[in-house]
Structure 1
Amino acid sequence: MREPPSEVVATWPAPNYTDPVTRGPELVIVELVFLFLGTLCLVLRIYVRAGIMGRMEADDWLMVGAAIFGAGVTTCVLLAFLRYGWNIHIWDLTFDKMVAGRQVSFAVQGLFLLATTLAKVSILVSYLRLAPLNSGFRRATFAALAFVIIINVAFFINLFVQCVPVSSYWDLTRTERDCNSEDHHLLANAALTAVADFIVWVVPLPAIYSAKIPRQQRLALIALFSFGVVVVVAACLRAYWIHYVVQVTYDVTWWGVYLWMWTAVEVQLGIICGCVPWLRSLVKFWRTTAWTDSTTGAAPPGGRRYLETPRC
């Protein structure tokens, strides 16, 4: 946490601990909407995999784990926003709320790493079911898996060793706090996360482009895969707000609302992106069922045969 210089503190108004100016409800609305959408997409994916196809595989369980940790990110952000002063100016923040906010920040960073890592690994594992043996697609997927796992394990370890002891991260009463500057760590994490999101997005595109399938189907698959670009955009916006909060402004609680908003949104978009292909399969199944019912009056035998592994 950057210590504001005395000349900056001198420009701050007198603290108002009883009735401070607060942010509006936009963060709460955005967080809850994206949590709902991410959870809905996951539930529909599970319905397809377990309810219709009758099996859950490794990538499905990885996405369930991502959703659990992602819900933890949203919960922590809302808790800090509503109770620990992430919705007020820094000069109106009491010392107790400052310490609690640092504790929640630490938890959010850990949960974010776990959620985004599991979501990316889930998507890449699903690619392996599509990639032929000894293909460039398969080698690229393994390389992407290694990159995602290595960088996130490194960031997770760094989270716990950047302050010695760890409690120095939030215990602001310590006279001697042995902590590395967190701005470089956070910016590196944001930049490499955006790179990893970009890699996950582009890895299957060359294989789809060169696949011997009808042009219309190829374009549809590329468009479906390209939904991942929204995750890249969210990661870039999170990177910008990290830069602004840790290197530009000292009013970190007031402007940090955008950082925490995009942090939770990025997590949920990653979950949504990993589930969208299964939603496409679900729509195809419903259409097939409706057509069969209208023509024969019976459901299609072995409904799971209408649900192949998504090609995206």
Structure 2
Amino acid sequence: MRSPPPEVLASWPKPNYVDPQRRGNEGVIVQAILVVLVTAIVIIRLYARIVITRAGIGLDDAMIIISWVFAMGLTASVMLAIKRYGWDIHVWDLPPKDMVTSRMISWASMVLYMTTASLAKASILVFYLRILVAKIDKIVTKITLGVVVVYYIAAFLILCLQCRPLQHYWEILIPKSAGTCIDESIHMITSAAFNILIEIVIFLIPLRSLFALRIRTTQKVHLISLFSAGLLVIAASTVRLVYVVIIMRKSYDVSWYGYAGWLWASIEVHVSIICACVPSCRAFFVAWNRSSSKGGSKTGGPSGTYPSGAGRSYNNIEDDVMGLTDRRLGTQAMVSARSRRSESEEDSMEGTKGVTIQMEVMQFEEEYQKEVRKSRAQNSKA
């Protein structure tokens, strides 16, 4: 934290400890909405993985659960600091008795932010390793995952070692506090910028395989849209970087601008978790759409009655689908599904060239579309 020079201190108005100007409740409202939304999305993801697809809890799911726990801790600490320790007022209105506690919460919040953001990135990359089987994609994904791990360890060590002793970080405003600290602005700005670079790489990794998929244009658009949600994370991270620069380089009013900075940090990590969950949640919404369609009219369309065996729950459908959907790019697509009950295989076409990608986010929609076509064929014959 930079100490304001005398001329800046002289320009500050008289402190108002009774009724200071405040930012308002927008930050608390936004974060409360995010908590509810993220919690619901994580629950849907786990339900889809355990009940609908019966895939069980994987490493990426475990990482998201832990990331969600730290995200809730981050939100709680930021809300506490806003409501109790003056993160929504001007720095000159911050009571001296709250300055130390405010700095302690700031340090803890940075640990929570780094942990939940890194876990969300790692979860997405582990998910990539499961669905992307092209050698180049796997290599890039593994390298990026290694960079995320190294980035987290380095940022955590810098945060712990930037002041000697550590408590000098939150006691720095106490006149008689003994200790030294490095320039916080250097690693904070560098870390925020590097964080954006990692997010851009994570966003770009699957695009090559997605664009090369030989599937219907509408399906391709849907899939690319799912993975393009990462652009929201990049946007939030960029806004956060702007406020980090303002806090560290442009203004000494750290509590006033820090309010917006922490709000965007919270938005970033929560949106990251949502983006990590969206592909896995697709099976839930397809299943929900099927359940709604079963109660519709008997028209032979998506809301019509399914033929025998088509109205089974997704638990049973998952019993019939062995493995994930394989697609070979650059030639004809191959889609193979095997029934455990009938032990019969559908006709398949196998490509000879191109990159392979396993798209588990598509398998249930494909089963749904097959049943719709069968239903329409039966109704037309009738």
The interval holding the TM-score normalised by the smaller chain is over 0.9
Question: 87-96 or 256-265: which moved more?
Answer: 87-96
What's 2:12 paired with? 12
Q: Give the aligned partner of residue 109 of structure 1.
A: 110
SS where residue 171 of structure 2 aligns?
coil
Query: 1:94 Cα deviation (Å)?
Result: 1.3
* Aligned counterparts, 1:168-247, within 5 A: 168-172=168-172, 173=174, 174-247=176-249
- Partners of 1:93 and 1:201 lie apart in 2 by 40
The Cα of 1:26 is off from its aligned counterpart by 0.7
Give the aligned length. Answer: 311
Q: Which amino acid aligns with 2:257?
A: W
1:141 CA displacement? 0.8
1:31-67 alpha-carbon deviations (Å, 9 max, x no partner) = 1111211111111101111232331111101000110
1:130/1:311 contact within 8 Å kept = no
Look up the match of 2:126.
Answer: 125
What amino acid does structure 1 have at the position aligned with 2:40?
L
* CA RMSD across the alignment: 1.9
Q: Which residue of 2 aligns with 1:304?
A: 318
- CA distance, structure 2, for counterparts of residue 287 and residue 79 of structure 1: 40
Counterpart amino acid of 2:182? N
Counterpart CA distance in 2 for 1:227 and 1:279 is 13
Q: Distance in 1 between matches of 2:169 and 2:22?
A: 26
- Residue 345 of structure 2 corresponds to none
> Once the two structures are superposed, what CA deviation does each residue of 1:231-254 show, in whole Å capped at 9, x if it has no partner?
000000000000001111111111
Unaligned runs of 5+ in 2: 296-304, 325-359, 364-382
- Listed as ranges, the gaps of 5+ residues in structure 1 are none
Partner Cα distance (2:217, 2:29) in 1: 40
Report the Cα offset of residue 209 of structure 1. Answer: 1.2
Conserved in 1, the CA contact under 8 Å of 2:121 and 2:148? yes
Higher Cα radius of gyration: 2
Match in the other structure for 2:346: none
Q: Is the 8 A contact 1:41 1:275 kept in 2?
A: yes
Quick one: percent identity of the two aligned structures?
Answer: 34
TM-score by length of 2: 0.77
CA contact (8 A) 1:277 1:311 kept: no
Please name the residue that 1:38 is paired with.
38
For residues 169 and 201 of structure 1, the distance between their equivalents in structure 2, rounded to whole angstroms, comes to: 35
Contact 1:285/1:306 (8 A) holds in 2: no
Residue of structure 2 aligned with 1:295, choices 279, 282, 306: 306
What residue identity is the alignment partner of 2:361? Answer: P
Look up the match of 1:253. 255
Instruction: Report the more deviating stretch, 163-172 or 113-122.
Output: 163-172
| Secondary structure, counterpart of 1:279 in structure 2 | helix
Q: Determine the structure 1 residue equivalent to 2:370.
A: none
Letter in 1 for 2:150: I
Q: 1:135 to 1:211 in 2, by over 3 A?
A: farther
Structure 1 residues 17 and 292: CA distance shift in structure 2, 3 A: closer
Matched residue SS, 2:228:
helix
Q: Which deviations, in whole Å up to 9, do the C-alpha atoms of 1:107-160 show, x marking residues without a partner?
A: 01001111011101101101111122x611111111111111111111011110
Q: How far apart are residue 6 of structure 1 and its match?
A: 0.7
| Matches of 1:130 and 1:69, distance apart in 2 | 26
Instruction: Answer 1 or 2: which has greater helix percent.
Output: 1
The residue aligned with 1:69 is 70
Query: CA offsets, 1:14-45, max 9 Å, x none?
Result: 11112222221011111111121111111110
Amino acid at match of 2:86: G
Preserved contact between residue 224 and residue 277 of structure 1 (Cα < 8 Å): yes
3-state SS in 1 of match to 2:89: coil
